Every structure is written in C-alpha cells, then in structure tokens.
C-alpha cells in the first residue's frame, strides 16, 4: 500500500515497482510520487490512459526525465527527492544538474509498500494460481516412463501460455535421484518406473506470480517413498492449517520443520519453509528459520517443506497462501495426496 503521508517525493525507476503502480505490461517510464501529485512520466510507443492509483500520465522522451522531474519538483516547491538505490547514475546527475541538490538514495522503500497485497492483487495471484493448477491436472496425462524432464517442463509452460501466462518461473522438473536436489535444472533424463518426480513451477498473470510444487511417483511407491511423502505432507498441512497473522517468521518455519525433525528424516529439510511472493517470485517477508519478522494480514507467502536424501530422491509440496487475521487462504488447489502414475 502507498502510505498516506509522504514527507519527501520519491522517484520510482525500478521496472517492477513502476509496474506495481501503473499495472501495464508494456509501458516504460518512471513515476514521481509526492504528497499531492502522482505523475507517470512515460516514453515509448503510447501514452497510457485511465491509470490506477491516482496516476496522471505525462509523455516525455526518455532523455528528458531528469529535467522533467526537476521542473515538477520546482512547481511543487519541493527541494528534496528520494531516488531508489537502483536509479541510473546518469539520471541522478541530470536531476542534480537541473538544480535539485537534496537527493537521497534509499533501498527497498517501494518493496516494503508492496508487501501487503490489496484485493485486486490477490485476484491476480488467484488467477495465476488457477492457471498453474490447470497445468498440473493436464501434466498428469503426460507423465510416463520414457518422457524427459525437459519435455515435462516444456509441456507445463505450454499449457500455462495457452491460458494467458506472460512469463514462467524457472521450471524445475527433477526425477529419480535428481529430486534430491532442491534446485535441480531439468535435463534430458528420461522418467523411469519407481521415480519420484518433483515439478516446481509457476507463471505470471498481470505480472503476479504463482508458485506450485507437487511430487508424484511413476509406478508404485515403495514403503520408504510413502514414509517420506507422508512426512512432507503432514509438515505442509500443519503449516497451512496454522499460518496466521501475528506469527513470527521463524515460528511458522518451525511448525513444519519440527514435524520433519521428529522423524527418521531429521535434518533433511534443506531450505526455509517459504518466501514472500507477488510481482517478484521471491520478495518481502518469508517463513525463514531464525527470522524475527512478524507476519501481517495481506502478505502472500509460499509454504514449501521438503525432504531431500542424497543420491536417493526427495519430495517437496508447495502452495502459496494469503496471510489473514484468522488463518490463511491457500490459493492453489491441486491434489496434495500421493499420486502414483
């Protein structure tokens, strides 16, 4: 949320942060927010109309931005401005040359505002999650011995593209022993009977990311595979059922970690329970071992415990959820029970 009070105007140049405000996939420009005026300086092929968030559009040439910002600050009687730490150096110099000397550089200001999602944003996250769920139900008809990890990844992305996805997360398809690596990059390895196959993927809708992970077994699951799966399932379920505003990040992580560490698979959950998600795949507050951050209503996080056993295989189950005052709303609905194909 944009804060009601803004002591010093801020110039937003980061592409993700500007998109958060103007919501247009193809627009280029920078946004000046001040107490009473919100200007989208745009360049490129078109002048946007009917912008959200009270933005008014002003078409300029890209190289005029520094002078345009300085002129606007003069008109507003504002001697100072905040720029993002990623602002281009030559732009900062241009603003300075145009007579503005009070330039402060700050990191993460808009990223902080983006943490609490509004209803429109949650709708986009929901839509992205639905597309991701559809791709999962379709991929179940494709998985079989002989198909490669890369073919599975390509099919997932193909389905999501057909439903309107703009972009994809880095699609992970990890089969057999490869599933013991949380960040395995898909290869031409062919699926075999007895493999765990972990698919971790997602798409964007209006820029907002989904993120889903499911692990299936090709053929019949062994007893050990069932025990691993069941443990991850219970850990994820506990976190889904207990995640709520007011929890400390590390407490949320522990809800799942303690379940895994209470079994023969102690110490095999090799990463944090979850990350914030929105316009960036990883953003904001997550569910992190050792983190004292407080979870607030409107934050969106992934819940993704896993077990990874070297040279054997692994399981991860992931959904994303909106933190609520009294619990959480899980946005993905794909079957979480063990599927044998």
Residues in touch with Mn ion (CB under 5 A): 211, 302
CB atoms within 10 A of CB 47: 14
Minimum CB distance to Mn ion smaller for 96 or for 115:
115
Dump the DSSP string for 135-203.
HHHHHTTT--TT-BHHHHHHHHHHHHHHTT---B---EEEEGGGGGSTTPPP-SPBP-TT-EEEEEE-B
Q: How far apart are the first and last CA of the chain?
A: 45
Minimum CB distance to Mn ion smaller for 211 or for 332:
211
Residue 152 Cβ, how far from Mn ion at the closest point, in Å? 18
- Under 8 Å between Cβ of 43 and 31: no
Residue 178 Cβ, how far from Mn ion at the closest point, in Å? 18
Residue 281 Cβ, how far from Mn ion at the closest point, in Å? 7
Minimum CB distance to Mn ion smaller for 149 or for 304:
304
Residue 90, H or E segment: helix 89-97
- Kindly tell me the sign of the dihedral angle through the C-alpha atoms of 9, 87, 98, 27: negative
Residue 85 Cβ, how far from Mn ion at the closest point, in Å? 26
For residue 212, the number of C-alpha atoms closer than 13 Å in the C-beta half-sphere is 28
Q: What is the dihedral of CA 250, 254, 255, 257, to 10 degrees?
A: 140
Minimum CB distance to Mn ion smaller for 149 or for 200:
200
Both structure tokens of 335: 């079957």
* Residues 6+ away with beta carbon under 8 Å from 83: 10, 11, 13, 91, 92, 95, 103, 104, 105, 106
Residue 211 Cβ, how far from Mn ion at the closest point, in Å? 4
Minimum CB distance to Mn ion smaller for 155 or for 211:
211
Minimum CB distance to Mn ion smaller for 13 or for 213:
213
Residue 40, H or E segment: strand 38-43
Minimum CB distance to Mn ion smaller for 195 or for 211:
211
Residue 58 Cβ, how far from Mn ion at the closest point, in Å? 38
Which residue has tokens 């053929």?
Answer: 219
Residue 275 Cβ, how far from Mn ion at the closest point, in Å? 6
Q: Which segments of 212-276 are extended strands (E)?
A: 212-217
Residue 243 Cβ, how far from Mn ion at the closest point, in Å? 15
Which of helix, strand or coil describes residue 287?
strand
Which of helix, strand or coil describes residue 271?
coil
Minimum CB distance to Mn ion smaller for 72 or for 211:
211
Residue 39 Cβ, how far from Mn ion at the closest point, in Å? 35
Minimum CB distance to Mn ion smaller for 40 or for 201:
201
Distance CA 215, CA 174 (A): 9
From the number of C-beta atoms within 10 Å of its C-beta (0-12, 13-18, 19+), residue 132 rates as buried
């Amino acid at each position: 949320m944009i804060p009601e009070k803004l002591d010093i105007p801020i110039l937003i140049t980061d592409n993700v942060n500007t998109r958060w405000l103007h919501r247009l996939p193809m627009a280029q420009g920078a946004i000046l927010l001040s107490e009473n005026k919100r200007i989208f300086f745009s360049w490129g092929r078109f002048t946007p109309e009917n912008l959200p968030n009270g933005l008014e559009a002003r078409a300029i040439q890209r190289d005029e931005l520094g002078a345009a910002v300085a002129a606007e600050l003069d008109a507003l009687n504002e001697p100072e401005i905040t720029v993002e730490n990623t602002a281009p150096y030559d732009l900062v110099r241009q603003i300075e040359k145009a007579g503005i000397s009070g330039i402060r550089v700050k990191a993460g200001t808009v990223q902080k505002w983006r943490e609490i999602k509004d209803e429109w944003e949650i709708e986009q996250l929901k839509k992205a999650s639905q597309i991701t769920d559809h791709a999962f139900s379709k991929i179940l008809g494709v998985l079989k011995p002989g198909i490669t990890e890369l073919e599975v990844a390509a099919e997932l992305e193909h389905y999501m593209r057909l439903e309107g996805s703009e972009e994809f997360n880095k699609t992970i398809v990890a089969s057999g022993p490869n599933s013991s690596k949380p960040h395995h990059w898909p290869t031409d390895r062919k699926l075999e009977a007895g493999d765990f196959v972990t698919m971790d993927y997602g798409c964007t809708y209006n820029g907002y990311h989904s993120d889903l992970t499911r692990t299936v077994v090709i053929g019949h699951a062994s007893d050990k595979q069932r025990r691993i799966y069941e443990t991850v399932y219970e850990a994820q379920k506990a976190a889904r059922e207990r995640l709520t505003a007011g929890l400390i990040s590390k407490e949320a992580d522990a809800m799942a970690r303690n379940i895994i560490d209470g079994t023969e698979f102690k110490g095999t959950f090799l990463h944090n329970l979850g990350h914030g998600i929105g316009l960036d795949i990883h953003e904001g507050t997550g569910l992190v071992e050792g983190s004292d951050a407080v979870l607030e209503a409107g934050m969106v996080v992934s819940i993704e415990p896993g077990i990874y056993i070297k040279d054997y295989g692994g399981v991860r189950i992931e959904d994303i959820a909106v933190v609520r005052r009294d619990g959480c709303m899980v946005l993905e609905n794909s079957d979480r029970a063990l599927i044998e194909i």
